[in-house]
Amino acid sequence: MLKILNLDAGYGALRILKGISLHVAPGEAVAVIGANGAGKTTLLKTLAGVLKPREGQIVFDKQDILGWPSEKIVARGCCLVPEGRHVFSSMTVRENLLLGAYCRRRENDAANLQESLEQVYALFGVLKERSNQLAGTLSGGQQQMLAIGRALMSRPRLLMMDEPSLGVAPLVVRDIYETIVTLKRHGLTILLVEQNARAALAVADRGYVIETGQIVLQGPSRQLSDNPEVQRAYLGKEYRSIDE
Amino acid sequence: MYNPKCETMPREELRQVQLERLQSTLNRVYRNVAFYKTAFDGHGVNLERIKDLQGIRELPFTTKNDLLKSYPYDMFAIPLRDIVRIHTTSGATAKPIVVGYTQNDLRNWRECAARLLTAAGVTQQDVVQIALHYSLFADGFGFHQGAERIGASVIPASLATSVAKQIVIMKDFKTTVLASTPSHALNIAAGLMEAQVPPERLSLRLGLFGGERWSDPLRRQIEERLGITSIDTYGPTEILGPGVAGECHLRHGLHINEDQFIVEVVDPKTLAPVPMGHEGELVVTTIMKEGFPLIRYRTGDITRLNPEPCACGRTFLRMERIIGRTDDLILVRGVGFFPSQIEEIVREFDGISPYFQIILDQEGGLDTIQVRVEISENLPSLDEVKAFESLRLQIAARIKEVLDVEAKVILLEPGSLRQFTGGSERVLDRRPG
């Protein structure tokens, strides 16, 4: 579904991604894990068309989308749930969700839209309860759900998520990850970027470890979870208190 | 097929997977293994320029000598505490190549061996007798783990079991599959004849062989004398062990597990890649190994690659049965050694000149090795026949001790071997095929 070859990207003189190659097969959930500043967000921003890459190849659904504007990429079925949610806080939950379907405005009739809304509400009951509430009044976890719901309104085939567990209460993280499992079961292809390696590897089929803009490890999630370097660096294993 | 999704992967998908795995392996070895960092920097390699599989050609080769020099742990790409198994190569040299496996390496190895056994036609109904080294060498373990993985009944007979006992097990336990070296299979065949057990009285149907080069005539001989179908496998310990490649039931070349290894064939003299299908030295890059990754490792084995799709449905490339060796490594009954090691041993003895000759032959299908050495002129008590005999036996015992090879030692008059000073002249291989 998604194939990336030798992707190079950065900001100004700063080179962040140094030749990243990865792929996501249809129906797969793939996790990209790495420390803060490794290039995870830059990767997703580049894929979403927010950031223009310097070099490389991005093939989505057999089409080279390198350099495409975001709205065209979304319309093609590849949607990003950004880090930090970025919901429109002065708009209602419902309005936020409807904005997510903006790219479908031409094909949409009201019934279609309503159907999409109901699907999102079925997934996140709390959004239905609060559909007329201002998004800014939601908790961090609820805002994350709203951000995911908004992305789903564009009816993507590939959902990209940037740190869905960031700034969310641990219990809610579990809810969000359960939702990801549900979405995957419904056949949605998922590319997930996370510092929370444990959560991400638990739902993903495969994973990539990114370090200073390069992939240094890849493989089935189970193999990554069992890799001692991943365990030490990202899973908090072998932690010892100082006096030990 | 053990893993159809992987083994029948379309070539285009495979190329993407290989490139991703190659790039991450390169990034990791550059960070973790001093040898590769020095080698890449020394060759002016910029890893970021390796943007496709052809890019692998910019990388320097790794030789057996490099691995020997890394003794014991310098080539490990992961701290020793994360290594869960250590094997070494067979007594090819005084100090072996030490190979470390992580938990994931063992898992992938099991998978590769399970694929190989399944491709050969082994199922969970089979009783698999493994007559291979279960020691420092990886041979026995590879087949063992793979056979357990597919649910076959595994008999770890090993090489510690005598041929006679091996045959009793084979008969009584109703062994259906034998895993061994080709020469040991002949030992067993000879034992069967001696014990007057015709192969029809066995349940044996399949043999998996590896660990040494074996000719087609030898192959036919093994099949006839044991009443089996034989399958050729390939897997040097330093690369993985059994499971790198193996024949499928069609037996037209060995499928290479290309999701784990990238192979090339190069001209052993110029080191330039040969055109697809041409003969040359096999070069292997591991793309999934964590403990002991190898980049462009020159195997010294001569073969050809076959890109034609196989009727079995596997999309992995096939390599031909090994045609020969680039170096002078001598393989006798699954044990490898260099002529220089014989030289070292010979030099230990007083009264023996440094000149020697190794003659390899076959007797009744079994490899024999004869070491001819020259008495030096200043040997005291020349007339003592007993002293000669004792010296002869001492040298043979020393060869057995160091190389684990049963050699016949012959003492010759001073001056009779002096002409054989060159490396290739010192070894005379009279074995057929």
Domains and CATH numbers, chain A: 2-192+201-207 (3.40.50.300)
Distance CA B271, CA B289 (A): 25
Residues in chain B: 433
Give DSSP secondary structure letters for B219-263. Answer: HHHHHHHHT-EEEEEE--TTTTSTTSEEE-TT-SSEEE-TTTEEE
| B259 backbone φψ class: left, alpha, beta (φ>0; ψ -120 to 50) | alpha
Across the interface, whether the CB atoms of A227 and B288 are under 8 A apart is answered: no
A–B interface: beta-carbon pairs under 8 A:
57
Contact B24/A at CB under 8 A: yes
Tokens coding B413: 């008059």
Give the list of residues 6+ apart from residue A129 with CB closer than 8 angstroms, or none. Answer: none
Contact B3/A at CB under 8 A: no
pLDDT per residue, tens digit, chain B (433 aa), is 999 999 999 999 999 999 999 999 999 999 999 999 999 999 999 999 999 999 999 999 999 989 999 999 999 999 999 999 999 987 555 689 999 999 999 999 999 999 999 999 999 999 999 999 898 889 999 999 999 999 999 999 999 889 999 999 999 999 999 999 998 998 899 999 999 999 999 999 999 999 887 878 789 889 999 999 999 999 999 999 999 999 999 999 999 999 999 999 999 889 999 999 998 999 999 999 999 999 999 999 989 999 999 999 999 999 999 877 776 668 787 777 777 678 778 878 877 876 788 899 888 778 889 999 888 776 655 567 788 888 889 999 999 888 888 899 998 888 777 665 544 567 888 887 6
Tokens coding A244: 């030990």
In this structure, are strands B352-363 and B366-375 parallel, antiparallel, or unpaired? antiparallel
Give DSSP secondary structure letters for A55-118. Answer: EEEEEETTEE-TT--HHHHHHHTEEEE-TT----TTSBHHHHHHHHTGGGTTT--HHHHHHHHH
Of A3, A216, A228, which has the smallest distance from its Cβ to B78's Cβ?
A228
Are B252 and B308 within 8 A, CB to CB?
A: no
Using a pLDDT cut of 90, give the percent of chain A over it: 77
Of A6, A18, A226, which has the smallest distance from its Cβ to B103's Cβ?
A226
Contacts of B20 in chain A (CB under 8 A): 21-23, 208, 215, 218
| Number of CB atoms found within 10 A of residue B44's CB | 8
Q: Which tens digit of pLDDT belongs to each residue from A56-92?
A: 999 999 999 999 999 999 999 999 999 887 899 999 9
Distance CA B409, CA A42 (A): 70
Taking domain B338-429, whether its CATH number is 3.30.300.30 is answered by yes
Contact B28/A at CB under 8 A: yes
Of A5, A214, A219, which has the smallest distance from its Cβ to B27's Cβ?
A214
Tokens coding A123: 């997934």
Tokens coding B248: 């499928």
Tokens coding B352: 């023996």
| pLDDT at residue B167 in the model | 96
Across the interface, whether the CB atoms of B51 and A6 are under 8 A apart is answered: yes
Across the interface, whether the CB atoms of A216 and B102 are under 8 A apart is answered: no
Q: Which tens digit of pLDDT belongs to each residue from A139-178?
A: 989 999 999 999 999 999 999 999 998 888 888 899 899 9
Are B152 and B176 within 8 A, CB to CB?
A: no
What amino acid occupies position A117? L
Distance CA B33, CA B77 (A): 5
CA distance A128 to chain B (A): 41
Cis before B236 (ω within 30)? no
What amino acid occupies position B307? P
Across the interface, whether the CB atoms of B102 and A23 are under 8 A apart is answered: no
In degrees, rounded to 5, the angle at the alpha carbon of residue B429 between the alpha carbons of residues B140 and B214 is 35
Are A178 and A124 within 8 A, CB to CB?
A: no
| pLDDT at residue A242 in the model | 53
Tokens coding B194: 């001696």
| pLDDT at residue B391 in the model | 87
Give the list of residues 6+ apart from residue A67 with CB closer than 8 angstroms, or none. Answer: A49, A52, A53
In degrees, rounded to 5, the angle at the alpha carbon of residue A169 between the alpha carbons of residues A168 and A171 is 125
Tokens coding B343: 């030289």
Say if residue B108 is exposed, middle or buried (CB neighbours under 10 Å; 0-12, 13-18, 19+).
Answer: buried
Distance CA B62, CA B56 (A): 13
Across the interface, whether the CB atoms of A226 and B104 are under 8 A apart is answered: yes
What amino acid occupies position B9? M
Secondary structure class of B291 (helix, strand, coil): coil
Say if residue A108 is exposed, middle or buried (CB neighbours under 10 Å; 0-12, 13-18, 19+).
Answer: middle
CA distance A75 to chain B (A): 26
Q: Which of residues 400-429 of B touch A (CB under 8 A)?
A: none
Across the interface, whether the CB atoms of B19 and A21 are under 8 A apart is answered: yes
Contacts of A27 in chain B (CB under 8 A): none
Q: Tokens 């001598």 label which residue? A: B330
Distance CA B306, CA B286 (A): 20
Q: Tokens 């830059």 label which residue? A: A42
Are B143 and B108 within 8 A, CB to CB?
A: no
Beta strands in chain A (DSSP E): 2-11, 14-24, 29-33, 55-60, 63-64, 78-81, 158-162, 189-194, 206-211, 214-220
Contacts of B51 in chain A (CB under 8 A): 5-6, 19
Across the interface, whether the CB atoms of A229 and B17 are under 8 A apart is answered: no
Going from N- to C-terminal start, the domains of chain B cover: 1-326, 338-429
Question: Class assignment of domain B1-326?
Answer: alpha beta
Are B235 and B142 within 8 A, CB to CB?
A: yes
Kindly list the residues of chain A whose beta carbon comes within 8 Å of any beta carbon in chain B. Answer: 3, 5-6, 18-19, 21-23, 208-209, 211, 214-219, 223, 226-229
Which of B12, B16, B50, B76 best probes binding to A when mutated, by most A CB atoms within 10 angstroms? B16
Across the interface, whether the CB atoms of B16 and A21 are under 8 A apart is answered: yes
Confidence label for A244 from pLDDT (cuts 50, 70 and 90):
very low
Q: Which chain A residue is nearest to residue B83, measuring alpha carbons?
A: A228
Contacts of B19 in chain A (CB under 8 A): 5, 21
Are B261 and B283 within 8 A, CB to CB?
A: no
The predicted model gives A195-224 an average pLDDT of 95
Across the interface, whether the CB atoms of A3 and B16 are under 8 A apart is answered: yes
Which helix (H) or strand (E) segment holds residue B428: the answer is strand B427-429
Picking from A174, A221, A178, A181, the residue whose alpha carbon sits closest to that of residue A197 is A221
CA distance A234 to chain B (A): 16
Distance CA A138, CA A129 (A): 12
| pLDDT at residue B423 in the model | 46
CA distance A148 to chain B (A): 29
Confidence label for A132 from pLDDT (cuts 50, 70 and 90):
very high
Across the interface, whether the CB atoms of B51 and A19 are under 8 A apart is answered: yes
Q: Which chain B residue is nearest to residue A1, measuring alpha carbons?
A: B13
